């Protein structure tokens, strides 16, 4: 059964071509046909709440939900997401794993050769592996701490289904934190008293009314508000349109602090403050220096609401251990911002009502805790925290934050945990001295160094010896950094199980792959308006699950049946009984404020709209009375210096914000002599991470020579003889990828962009293999932000780029596995 490499590549091409969906495969869906003209049904997704025309059992047209006045272009990719050659059709097992199981040749992982199984065979294998791991290694041998952007829908949220079913079998290693805000959600509770990143923010109407200057700090919200955690209705865009008008008539000034001219800047036609990548803290310290030395800081605010200003300002003034005064001249050298401009910037911020609005990419870099902390200190020095249109926000680019909240209750979800009083089939809690919970972005370290110790947020983590991993609703072979390092770690895993609807790189590196269906093939209920809870949406099943795919709920019902726990898992309720119960609980909770119709009426009508919410100001109550409404820091005040953090003794996150050099930094920083270009892997304009990359027609609207675009400046292109549209190789010592060059004036010299979520497609399974499509995580650095948060540092990454001159390999990312018949 050995297949030569040439054969193997031919095999991949052949599968892709044969993979186009034939009529016969749609027959099952055809049974659901309603009439020749079809019916419009309500559906939803992260890209938008939509209406879908279903004709003859096929989704033929998608249009926006009538309440979505700013629909995104991405809904045009939905049809291609449902019907596409990368859909997982059947349960599959990796060829050598099926033969040799825990003794398989794990170096073959990634060669993409798989064998088709029946559902019974696949679930028996899944169950056998759970048994084997629990009895051989105990709970510390199993990692099921999946983290990711499952599809929308409160009931079918797939991570909950996986964890509940697996937990009914036995305990497992779980995770804390996420890739989005890993550093922010750990540092800000010490400083501001809550995560801030996942909290409601001051309402846009109040910002529009009261603010003189908005600083968008590393925030491309016009791009990133296109997707939401729930079914999106894009109400924030109405406020951005008003903001654009106010910029045009001069009543609000907006400055985007970003190395790149962003989509937001282009839309708003606002100013840009260019800054060298990863140098923001130096710039901020110099702003603090100016505010202080020109007496522009609010002493009353600092005295009344904050603690620990002195040690911080001593450090800024050069009285700290390093003895360096953080003058604008000092910061200019690091940040590339002229010293006089830094002074002007500080004066502007102090001159009127100023709202700082941070994005998240800036904390997805080494020492990512520091810019958030330094930002909070600047806001405290300006003294406007808690005023309408002043202070600081860390989340106005996310899921409806800033839309006046309705305060309505929304439906809960399927329970992730065991019901009270229940214990797993294998109740052992013996983690063999290892930690039960690990910081999420450190799971690869854990596999590479079992028993190793890690400092994390004031405690010590001991890495468990993981032998089996389960992934559902996440794509770690896009989301985690440094794929070649990941390959080494995957040699240590005996068994990897993935449940997904699309054959992405995580499937390729798994042993057992189970086909889930998409959200358009099941019934569900969701929120729209995100954090502001504007309404509830019915997500009608449009077509039956394609091929042999099933809902996650069905998959895990059948898995738990194998250990006799399916009735506990489902609580003896089917899909519709669950939906009704979730709806009715919500109806009851809203009884007084928002009377809701009966479930049947809601389901028929498609949605319940709660209407307009009320304006709200973040931290207003704290400002009003800091004693009664203390923030959640150890002292109850905003902590400019933190004794608690200081007590941990971490050199990479000390007791107040400081400037620290990065492991890799462009514009003269470490490593830039060898690989001079900073690679930023921001969130994609036309995808949600890796979701929808597989939508072939839609991908063709942005791909360059069939590859992911890499954006670069005219200067860098010229210096390397690269023309717009060229096929290029991007590389560093960690890896190499092919991409298509887009030369753009939006990018300054030294900065290139490849958007995260591009599907990894290596030429072969070997370490260092060329990625044929362009996943930036082939190149990124896999280190924790600091001992405090241990969050991912994807944006600390240097590379170089050249015209590709070799024989051009086909893209291997799409079209599913090479099916081997045994
Ligand atoms: N270099 C770099 N890397 C990054 C980032 C970055 O900025 N730069 N950003 C990070 C961030 S913030 C995030 S949030 C992560 C995102 O990382 P992920 O959340 O892992 O990314 P997604 O592509 O959304 O992956 C979700 C997967 O779940 C599958 N799925 C969706 N719905 C269902 C379902 O109902 N059932 C099942 N079984 N499967 C389903 C999808 O097909 C897809 O494969 O990436 C991180 N990685
Ligand atoms: N269309 C779309 N929207 C999304 C997502 C998606 O996949 N697609 N994902 C969602 C998710 S899960 C998340 S976590 C959020 C992510 O939200 P963010 O992390 O805020 O978004 P990014 O797009 O990665 O980066 C935002 C901006 O930060 C800038 N930037 C990066 N590094 C630096 C720096 O060192 N200094 C400065 N000053 N600027 C810097 C970039 O140039 C970019 O313009 O977006 C959400 N929205
Ligand atoms: Mo995220």
pLDDT at 301 over 70: yes
Mean pLDDT for the stretch of residues 482-493: 98
Give, for ligand 2, the residue of 224, 229, 794 to mutate: max count of ligand atoms closer than 8 Å to Cβ. 224
Q: What is the pLDDT of residues 362-385, one digit of tens each?
A: 999 999 999 999 999 999 999 999
pLDDT at 14 over 90: no
- For ligand 1, whether the C-beta of 151 sits within 6 Å is yes
Q: What is the pLDDT of residues 514-563, one digit of tens each?
A: 999 999 999 999 999 999 999 999 999 999 999 999 999 999 999 999 99
The pLDDT, as a whole number, for residue 28 is: 34
Atom of ligand 1 nearest to the CA of 480: 47
Cα–Cα distance measured from residue 13 to residue 477, given in angstroms and rounded to the nearest whole number: 21
- For ligand 1, whether the C-beta of 160 sits within 6 Å is no
Q: From the CA of 168, how far away is ligand 3's center (Å)?
A: 29
Cα–Cα distance measured from residue 468 to residue 106, given in angstroms and rounded to the nearest whole number: 13
Q: What is the pLDDT of residues 645-693, one digit of tens each?
A: 999 999 999 999 999 999 999 999 999 999 999 999 999 999 999 999 9
Q: From the CA of 284, how far away is ligand 2's center (Å)?
A: 20
Q: Are 521 and 550 in contact (CB under 8 A)?
A: no
pLDDT at 22 over 70: no
The pLDDT, as a whole number, for residue 169 is: 98
Ligand nearest to the CA of 685: 2
Cα–Cα distance measured from residue 59 to residue 788, given in angstroms and rounded to the nearest whole number: 48
Mean pLDDT for the stretch of residues 683-711: 97
Q: Are 94 and 506 in contact (CB under 8 A)?
A: no
- For ligand 1, whether the C-beta of 183 sits within 6 Å is no
Atom of ligand 1 nearest to the CA of 157: 35
The pLDDT, as a whole number, for residue 9 is: 34
The pocket around ligand 2, CB under 6 angstroms, is made up of 180, 218-220, 223-224, 226-227, 257-260, 262, 275, 277-278, 280, 359-362, 365, 397, 680, 682-685, 687-689, 795
Q: What is the band of 35 on the pLDDT scale with cuts at 50, 70, 90?
A: low
Q: What is the pLDDT of residues 425-459, one digit of tens each?
A: 999 999 999 999 999 999 999 999 999 999 999 99
- For ligand 1, whether the C-beta of 478 sits within 6 Å is yes
Q: Are 373 and 607 in contact (CB under 8 A)?
A: no
- List strand residue ranges (DSSP E) for 655-776, in order: 677-680, 709-712, 727-731, 736-743, 751-753
- For ligand 1, whether the C-beta of 472 sits within 6 Å is yes
The vertex-537 CA angle with 532 and 538, nearest 5°, equals 165
Cα–Cα distance measured from residue 653 to residue 787, given in angstroms and rounded to the nearest whole number: 7
pLDDT at 30 over 90: no
- For ligand 1, whether the C-beta of 552 sits within 6 Å is yes
Q: What is the pLDDT of residues 228-237, one digit of tens each?
A: 999 999 999 9
Q: For residue 250, what are the contacts with CB-CB under 8 A and spacing of at least 6?
A: none
The pLDDT, as a whole number, for residue 146 is: 74
pLDDT at 25 over 50: no
Q: What is the band of 822 on the pLDDT scale with cuts at 50, 70, 90?
A: confident
Q: From the CA of 229, how far away is ligand 3's center (Å)?
A: 10
Exposed / middle / buried, residue 649 (Cβ in 10 Å: 0-12, 13-18, 19+): exposed
Q: Are 650 and 787 in contact (CB under 8 A)?
A: yes
Atom of ligand 2 nearest to the CA of 227: 3
Atom of ligand 1 nearest to the CA of 689: 23
Cα–Cα distance measured from residue 175 to residue 442, given in angstroms and rounded to the nearest whole number: 9
Q: What percent of the chain has pLDDT over 70?
A: 96
The pLDDT, as a whole number, for residue 61 is: 97
């Amino acid at each position: 059964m050995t297949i030569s490499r040439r054969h193997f590549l031919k095999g991949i091409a052949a599968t892709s071509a044969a993979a186009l969906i034939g009529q016969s495969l749609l027959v099952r869906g055809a049974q659901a046909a309603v009439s020749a003209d079809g019916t419009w049904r309500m559906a939803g997704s992260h890209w938008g709440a939509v209406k879908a025309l279903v004709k003859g059992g096929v989704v033929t047209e998608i249009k926006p939900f009538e309440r979505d006045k700013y629909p995104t272009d991405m809904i045009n990719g939905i049809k291609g997401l449902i019907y596409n050659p990368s859909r997982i059709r059947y349960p599959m097992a990796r060829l050598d794993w099926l033969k040799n199981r825990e003794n398989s040749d794990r170096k073959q992982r990634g060669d993409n050769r798989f064998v088709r199984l029946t559902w019974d065979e696949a679930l028996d294998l899944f169950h056998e592996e759970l048994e084997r791991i629990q009895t051989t290694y105990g709970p510390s041998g199993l990692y099921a701490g999946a983290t990711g952007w499952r599809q929308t829908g409160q009931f079918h949220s797939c991570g909950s289904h996986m964890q509940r079913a697996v937990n009914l079998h036995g305990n497992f290693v779980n995770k804390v934190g996420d890739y989005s805000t890993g550093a922010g959600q750990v540092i800000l509770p010490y400083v501001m008293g809550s995560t801030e990143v996942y909290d409601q923010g001051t309402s846009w109407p109040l910002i529009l009314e009261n603010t003189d200057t908005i600083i968008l700090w590393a925030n491309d919200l016009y791009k990133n508000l296109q997707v939401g955690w729930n079914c999106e209705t894009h109400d924030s865009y109405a406020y951005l349109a008003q903001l654009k008008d106010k910029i045009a008539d001069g009543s609000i000034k907006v400055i985007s602090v970003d190395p790149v001219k962003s989509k937001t800047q282009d839309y708003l036609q606002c100013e840009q403050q260019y800054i060298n990548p990863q140098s923001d803290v130096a710039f901020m310290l110099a702003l603090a220096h100016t505010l202080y030395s020109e007496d522009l800081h609010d002493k009353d605010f600092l005295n009344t609401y904050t603690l620990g200003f002195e040690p911080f300002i001593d450090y800024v003034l050069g009285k700290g251990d390093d003895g360096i005064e953080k003058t604008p001249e000092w910061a200019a050298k690091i940040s590339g911002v002229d010293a006089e401009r830094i002074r002007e910037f500080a004066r502007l911020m102090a001159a009127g009502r100023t709202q700082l609005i941070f994005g998240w990419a800036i904390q997805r870099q080494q020492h990512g805790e520091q810019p958030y902390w330094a930002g909070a200190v600047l806001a405290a020095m300006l003294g406007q925290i808690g005023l309408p249109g002043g202070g600081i926000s860390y989340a106005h680019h996310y899921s409806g934050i800033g839309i006046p909240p309705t305060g309505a209750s929304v439906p809960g979800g399927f329970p992730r945990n065991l019901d009270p009083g229940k214990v797993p089939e294998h109740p052992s809690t013996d983690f063999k001295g290892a930690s039960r919970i690990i910081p999420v972005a450190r799971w690869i370290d854990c596999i590479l160094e079992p028993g190793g110790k890690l400092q994390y947020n004031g405690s010590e983590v001991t890495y468990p010896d993981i032998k089996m991993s389960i992934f559902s609703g996440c794509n770690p072979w896009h989301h985690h950094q440094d794929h070649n390092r990941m390959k080494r770690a995957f040699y240590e895993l005996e068994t990897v199980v993935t449940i997904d609807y699309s054959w992405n790189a995580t499937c390729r590196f798994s042993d057992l792959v189970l086909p889930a269906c998409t959200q358009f093939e099941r019934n569900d209920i969701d929120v729209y308006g995100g954090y502001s809870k504007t309404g509830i949406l019915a997500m009608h099943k449009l077509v039956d699950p394609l091929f042999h795919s099933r809902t996650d709920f069905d998959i895990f019902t059948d898995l738990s049946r194998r250990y006799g726990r399916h009735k506990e898992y489902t609580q003896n309720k089917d899909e519709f009984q669950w939906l009704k119960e979730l709806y009715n609980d919500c109806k009851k909770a809203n009884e007084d404020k928002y009377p809701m119709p009966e479930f049947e009426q809601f389901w028929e009508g498609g949605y319940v709209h709660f209407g307009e919410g009320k304006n709200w100001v973040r931290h207003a109550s704290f400002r009003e009375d800091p004693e009664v409404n203390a923030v959640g820091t150890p002292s109850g005040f905003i902590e400019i210096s933190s004794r608690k953090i200081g007590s941990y003794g971490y050199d990479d996150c000390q007791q107040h914000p400081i400037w620290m050099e990065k492991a890799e930094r462009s514009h003269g920083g470490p490593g830039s002599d060898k690989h001079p270009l900073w690679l930023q892997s921001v969130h994609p304009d036309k995808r949600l991470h890796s979701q929808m990359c597989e939508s072939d027609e839609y991908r063709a609207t942005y791909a360059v020579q069939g590859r992911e675009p890499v954006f670069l400046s005219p200067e860098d292109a010229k210096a390397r003889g690269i023309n717009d549209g060229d096929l290029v190789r991007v590389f560093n010592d960690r890896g190499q990828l092919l991409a298509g060059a887009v030369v753009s004036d939006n990018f300054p010299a030294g900065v290139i962009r490849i958007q995260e979520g591009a599907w990894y497609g290596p030429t072969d399974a070997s370490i260092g293999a060329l990625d044929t499509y362009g996943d930036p995580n082939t190149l990124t650095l896999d280190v924790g932000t600091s001992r405090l948060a241990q969050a991912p540092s994807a944006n600390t990454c240097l590379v170089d780029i050249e015209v590709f001159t070799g024989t051009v390999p086909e893209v291997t990312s799409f079209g599913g596995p090479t099916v081997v018949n045994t």
